[in-house]
């Protein structure tokens, strides 16, 4: 069932699990439905997967692509030649129906935003790794070497192992 870009996802759980979910949700001041959405969001952000852009992200990229001041913002890279935007990392805050900011922030990384083949990931591990790789190459190399010796798959895992 699709409704304005949303789809219903359902599952059956044993009665005692539903009761536990209700208790956990009540402790956090939310409905069981909201708790399940939060759990799904957490699972998606931990997954090492890239996928399609949401309609809102597509709209935002279209606006950025047509904004001339955005295109000129990259002059720091050099006065000659062209600059391509390889990735965009967004830090976002969600608002409720009344316009109040919800607690916390979300992060998304969009690959090839204006070049076709555009994908998006919400995986915090992948985003952190990319930021450190681009902004601090020497530190990134050192952390990766430590990670390889510890058999960790991400900088976060390396941090926990040290």
pLDDT digit string (tens) for the chain, length 162 residues: 456 777 888 889 999 999 999 999 999 999 999 999 888 888 887 777 788 888 888 888 888 777 766 666 666 656 666 667 788 899 988 888 898 988 888 899 999 888 778 899 998 899 999 999 999 999 999 999 999 999 988 888 888 777
Q: Give residue 1's pLDDT.
A: 47
Whether residue 108 lies inside any domain: the answer is: no
Whether residue 115 lies inside any domain: the answer is: no
Q: Give residue 2's pLDDT.
A: 55
Expressed as residue numbers, the domain containing 39 is 1-46
Q: Give residue 72's pLDDT.
A: 62
Tokens of 20: 């536990």
For the chain, what is the total number of helices (H) and then of strands (E)? Answer: 7, 5
This prediction's pTM: 0.70
Whether residue 85 lies inside any domain: the answer is: no
Helix pair 32-46, 124-135: axis angle to 10 deg? 40
Kindly report the CATH number assigned to the domain that includes residue 42. Answer: 1.10.1220
């Amino acid at each position: 069932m699709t409704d304005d870009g949303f789809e219903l996802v359902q599952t059956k759980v044993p009665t005692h699990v539903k009761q536990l979910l209700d208790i956990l949700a009540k402790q956090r001041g939310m409905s069981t439905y909201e708790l399940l959405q939060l759990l799904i969001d957490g699972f998606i952000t931990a997954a090492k997967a890239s996928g399609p852009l949401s309609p809102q992200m597509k709209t935002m990229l279209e606006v950025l692509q047509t904004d001339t001041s955005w295109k000129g913002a990259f002059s720091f890279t050099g006065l000659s030649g062209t600059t391509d935007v390889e990735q965009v990392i967004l830090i976002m805050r969600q608002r409720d129906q009344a316009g109040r900011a919800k607690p916390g922030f979300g992060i998304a990384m969009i690959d090839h935003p204006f070049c076709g083949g555009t994908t998006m990931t919400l995986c915090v591990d992948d985003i952190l790794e990319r930021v450190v790789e681009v902004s601090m190459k020497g530190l990134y190399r050192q952390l990766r070497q430590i990670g390889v010796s510890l058999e960790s798959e991400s900088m976060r895992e390396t941090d926990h192992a040290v």
